[in-house]
Structure 1
């Protein structure tokens, strides 16, 4: 019995230490700072979704948060400001922030950063990416189901890897349903020009496309409005963009950045830090998905085809290539 007492004492002390640490984490007021991507708040897509996630974390988890924008393209200055404001986590939203975020992360090795939409190898940077190609596959199927011309249009913002995910998934999904369908593709070179998006969509529609899928930020906003004006269908991205063009947006590829950001905030409050070095979220992880289908009515067979494709992607029976 005497030998057992020291062991029990050590075990009790360990339990008490764990309980104290958990209690400390729960009582601490955590702060998160985010640098929004190029187009800033009001894009009704990428930035607004991340912002909603932080608003939910503030309401449900009690976190404090601040945000910065960099319309001049100088990402380093606002990132450094967020570090100096003593945020527990600093988020860089979008692949365009990677270079500046990594430079800042090297300067402040004790600060934890989260990079969304790109992958970093730095120890103090957590990477969060999405399988946009899986969600876009479903939009492509939907577009092919509704097309009367057998021509679809894809408009990308900047010609980079993450936008290729949207394009490639869309093309594969469309051809999965109709192997003979044609997809017109164009890149704007910017995420911030709605007028250019309108012109590009108008050109594709004139060439016969009767469904436009823009993965192009505010440039895509213009494309959706033009699709509505011309009486063709469209697919939204990142958030449910139905209310951008209510007579055109049949469905949106949901990139659940709000859910992911909230979950990162929750892990921070529960554990004191984000433990994994990277996260990749697809259909199986509820990272991407298809919004409610509006404007159009699908047959029972078409609904079943979309449901089966979703299940097959999650089960690994359908492999959607990102590149």
Structure 2
């Protein structure tokens, strides 16, 4: 009996040993040393983090903040970037929001809009190892730090084209321009539009007024209504959120409006005939590509115009603008690129040439 029990115990012991050998990972034979080294030596690409601080219009302003965010999302989709944003409700938020994105460990931090110029200059100076970029800066006499890139647009060129359309399409020989705030960046839209109108129609009158705001839609609507009452039948705005009121007035008055920065036809499909597009999204994506390629252009200001896709007119323009006028616009565009037409971006240049 004892021998049978002993034999049974030996069989059970052998089975247990076999199960341990075939069981969990802890008991598996280690990989050959050569294979382990091969796995450890494989490089892993670190994800680039890029983020932006919006201007007071917010990320869904249907204007340049939204276009800037679209550029970030394109960098996420096509370049593998990790992207994010912080919204500003007032000017006092800029410094704090830039600090938030710095603490988050972003490789490149964007400020969107010229009103952030002072805040981002100060941030760049205090954090020399952090890379920054800004849309539409007004550096003035300031030296651009080596860790900051400025991005400007030849807004006057796109504005000239929509001005040409307005000059050709007006039936009253009176059109209008509503600016957001009376700053040099907006002067490009203002005087480029006026020059385009005059180039197309020397007899046309251009009414001009500034809303002193980029967010007050009621103010923009009131100004546009006054212009329509004075006989204008087309009003172009470069006023951010205040321009939403211009488009609303056009819809209510059954008149025409011209959008800005993005294709704004969807806001009033029967009344927004074209838009002067400022391709902030393209510019941000191009700077992101340079960053990924190791070509970050610190200490410089990049300028984008018609020649490189930085500005243009909305793709929905053919819904309301006659085909023959659009053909003329294409010719005008080529003449601008070739330097045959000089487009003003300030009062002095406009008065000297028009």
Please give the TM-score of this superposition, normalised by the length of structure 1: 0.89
Please give the residue correspondences for 1:205-244 in structure 2 after superposition, counting only pairs within 5 Å: 205-244=228-267
2:123 to 104, 109, 118: 104
* Structure-2 residue corresponding to 1:185: 208
The question of 1:150 aligning with 2:173 is answered yes
Question: What is the CA–CA distance in structure 2 between the aligned matches of 1:309 and 1:272, rounded to whole Å?
Answer: 34
* Structure-2 residue corresponding to 1:282: 305
* Structure-2 residue corresponding to 1:27: 45
Please give the residue correspondences for 1:115-264 in structure 2 after superposition, counting only pairs within 5 Å: 115-120=134-139, 121-264=144-287
2:322 to 290, 293, 298: 298
Say which SS state the counterpart of residue 307 (structure 2) adopts: coil
Superposed displacement of residue 85, structure 1: 1.3
Q: Do the aligned partners of 1:248 and 1:295 also contact (CA within 8 Å) in 2? A: no
Question: What is the CA–CA distance in structure 2 between the aligned matches of 1:245 and 1:304, rounded to whole Å?
Answer: 24
Say which SS state the counterpart of residue 280 (structure 1) adopts: strand
Question: What is the CA–CA distance in structure 1 between the aligned matches of 2:90 and 2:326, rounded to whole Å?
Answer: 45
* Structure-2 residue corresponding to 1:46: 64
Superposed displacement of residue 72, structure 1: 2.8
Q: Do the aligned partners of 1:53 and 1:260 also contact (CA within 8 Å) in 2? A: yes
Question: What is the CA–CA distance in structure 2 between the aligned matches of 1:299 and 1:261, rounded to whole Å?
Answer: 32
Q: Do the aligned partners of 1:249 and 1:294 also contact (CA within 8 Å) in 2? A: no
Superposed displacement of residue 276, structure 1: 6.8
Question: What is the CA–CA distance in structure 2 between the aligned matches of 1:281 and 1:303, rounded to whole Å?
Answer: 22
Superposed displacement of residue 309, structure 1: 0.5
Q: Do the aligned partners of 2:148 and 2:299 also contact (CA within 8 Å) in 1? A: no
In structure 1, stretches of 5+ residues that fail to align are 1-22
In structure 2, stretches of 5+ residues that fail to align are 1-41, 347-354
Question: What is the CA–CA distance in structure 1 between the aligned matches of 2:293 and 2:326, rounded to whole Å?
Answer: 40
Q: Do the aligned partners of 2:287 and 2:296 also contact (CA within 8 Å) in 1? A: no
Q: Do the aligned partners of 2:179 and 2:239 also contact (CA within 8 Å) in 1? A: yes
Residues 228, 295 of structure 1: alpha-carbon distance in 2 compared, 3 angstrom cutoff:
farther
Q: Do the aligned partners of 2:273 and 2:321 also contact (CA within 8 Å) in 1? A: no
Superposed displacement of residue 81, structure 1: 1.3
Question: What is the CA–CA distance in structure 1 between the aligned matches of 2:90 and 2:199, rounded to whole Å?
Answer: 42
Identify the range of structure 1 (87-96 vs 275-284) with the bigger mean alpha-carbon deviation: 275-284
Please give the TM-score of this superposition, normalised by the length of structure 2: 0.82
Q: Do the aligned partners of 1:32 and 1:87 also contact (CA within 8 Å) in 2? A: yes
2:75 to 53, 57, 81: 57
Aligned-residue Cα RMSD (Å) equals 1.6
Superposed displacement of residue 239, structure 1: 0.3
Deviations 1:164-223 (A, max 9, x none): 100100000000011111000000100001111111110000000000101000100110
* Structure-2 residue corresponding to 1:71: 89
Question: What is the CA–CA distance in structure 2 between the aligned matches of 1:113 and 1:60, rounded to whole Å?
Answer: 21
Structure of larger gyration radius: 2
Question: What is the CA–CA distance in structure 2 between the aligned matches of 1:61 and 1:151, rounded to whole Å?
Answer: 47
Question: What is the CA–CA distance in structure 1 between the aligned matches of 2:48 and 2:88, rounded to whole Å?
Answer: 24
Count of matched residue positions in the alignment of Structure 1 and Structure 2:
299
Superposed displacement of residue 272, structure 1: 6.4
Residues 174, 272 of structure 1: alpha-carbon distance in 2 compared, 3 angstrom cutoff:
closer
